[in-house]
Chains A and B, each alone.
Chain A
């Protein structure tokens, strides 16, 4: 087995092996330490001998034995040999249960729900999930947050301390608690995705690694909790958006808006998968669900031959549904943009101005950009230029700034 193959196994198995080890040893830090030791043992052995049939179970067993050794040593060191009370030691002789895939699934869900516990701030939930569930290094998580590795390390340490000290249970919530907690988990996954799909700041428009992690997580969750339309809806939404990635950016890192994208660059295989999932999500019984409706909108874009011949009336209608079930300034703006394609930019501008007068869009940074686009299409160039300047000042993302500069150059001086 090559070094590369071994590393791929680590990458694929780290989350699940860690999830099971945490339950077995009852401690996040100890589980992380002994899993690292198990990786080191594997790196030393696997290149020279036949790798185990079930590498995940192998890693967990090696890790668990290391943890047992450590606890025994600690007890011996403290001279409290009579105190063999640690649960792990009591269970040390229990027969090997970890080869069962179902056990790993349950543990992985426990880990996801623990990392996304509402007693953590949303960005801490995201950081913990990326670190422990996705197996990103602290340095990689720090990069995702544009934070220093040291600061991120401290935040993760504090979060893991809170799990232990505050008694956050390592379990999947039951009955009535499950729905709100699942919503929280999906919100974390979507946060990871949106940061990867449209970064909020910096040089790069997209960070595909984060988008990929989010899709991987949603796939995993869909497999672990099958038949849930909110999970299928979110997975479909992300697949359909991510399928357009190659068309969204020029080689030079400039943003290409949907209307100008070369649709032959879109990932058709991923779109097909997304479309099937949207249908699944919409077929499952229940009231309209936000991610599924957003995915249905993305599906209409994905199916359209070009920007003009998109089913805009249906998209505008779906945004109205979305506005009813989860109103937000983003949805209002998107609806206005869809209305501009059905009833023209003047009608859309009225909608936005009315919204703004109600104070509904205060401080929302894409507002001037949407206004600028409508004003440009109406031929009101002075007002459009002013709005583009406001849009430039409102964003921290370089590719967007360059787009606004291009637009201003197009409408001339």
Chain B
């Protein structure tokens, strides 16, 4: 099965991080990503620019409405994702728990829909 691991964390807190901590975090992400590439779980993964760069699009009655920012204001924001292949939910949860962002933010684990 494939699972999307969505990394949520507080952008305001992240912005306050000093350069040394930031460097440490990206090194940790590098190590983690390498480890799941090697174990064969990795399908895709990216970090995202902050929600200040987001634009939300809706189409209503044929008209396109564009708004500045994310769809909903929340305490934690989506900051990146991994798409992984795992044999079951427990395996996916185990991988999610090893994402560096799980220690200060949270990881939402969602099974990817299969079309028959």
Which residues from chain A sit less than 8 Å from chain B, CB to CB? 117, 119, 165-169, 173, 177
Contact = CB atoms under 8 A, between A and B. Distances in A.
Interface of B: 1, 3, 86-90, 92-93, 111
Contacts of A165: 111
A167 B112 CA distance: 10
Contacts of A119: 89, 93
A167 B111 CA distance: 8
Given A167-B92, A168-B89, 12 more contacts: A117-B89, A119-B89, A166-B89, A166-B111, A167-B1, A167-B3, A167-B89, A169-B87, A169-B88, A169-B89, A169-B90, A177-B90
Nearest to A173: B90
Nearest to B93: A119
A165 B3 CA distance: 11
Contacts, number: 23
A177 B94 CA distance: 10
Contacts of A177: 90
Contacts of B89: 117, 119, 166-169
Nearest to B88: A169
A166 B96 CA distance: 14
Interchain residue pairs A-B with the least CB separation, the first 8: A169-B88, A167-B1, A167-B88, A168-B89, A167-B89, A166-B111, A166-B89, A165-B111
A168 B111 CA distance: 10
23 contacts: A117-B89, A119-B89, A119-B93, A165-B111, A166-B89, A166-B111, A167-B1, A167-B3, A167-B86, A167-B87, A167-B88, A167-B89, A167-B92, A167-B111, A168-B88, A168-B89, A168-B90, A169-B87, A169-B88, A169-B89, A169-B90, A173-B90, A177-B90
A119 B92 CA distance: 12
Tell me if A's interface is mostly helix, strand, loop or mixed: loop
A146 B101 CA distance: 40
Nearest to B3: A167
A267 to B, nearest CB: 41
Nearest to B113: A165
Contacts of A168: 88-90
Most chain A Cβ neighbours within 10 Å, of B3, B86, B89, B92: B89
Nearest to B90: A169
A119 B87 CA distance: 16
B56 to A, nearest CB: 27
Contacts of A166: 89, 111
Contacts of B88: 167-169
A297 to B, nearest CB: 35
A177 B92 CA distance: 14
A380 B88 CA distance: 61
Most chain A Cβ neighbours within 10 Å, of B3, B87, B92, B111: B111
A311 to B, nearest CB: 44
Contacts of A117: 89
Nearest to A165: B111
A291 B87 CA distance: 35
A177 B89 CA distance: 13
A168 B3 CA distance: 12
A163 to B, nearest CB: 9
A110 B9 CA distance: 35
A165 B86 CA distance: 13
Contacts of B111: 165-167
A124 to B, nearest CB: 15
Nearest to B2: A167
Nearest to A164: B111
Most chain B Cβ neighbours within 10 Å, of A117, A165, A167: A167
B39 to A, nearest CB: 17
Contacts of B86: 167
A370 B93 CA distance: 43
A158 to B, nearest CB: 14
Nearest to A118: B93
Most chain A Cβ neighbours within 10 Å, of B86, B90, B111: B90
Contacts of A173: 90
Contacts of B93: 119
Contacts of B90: 168-169, 173, 177
A258 to B, nearest CB: 43
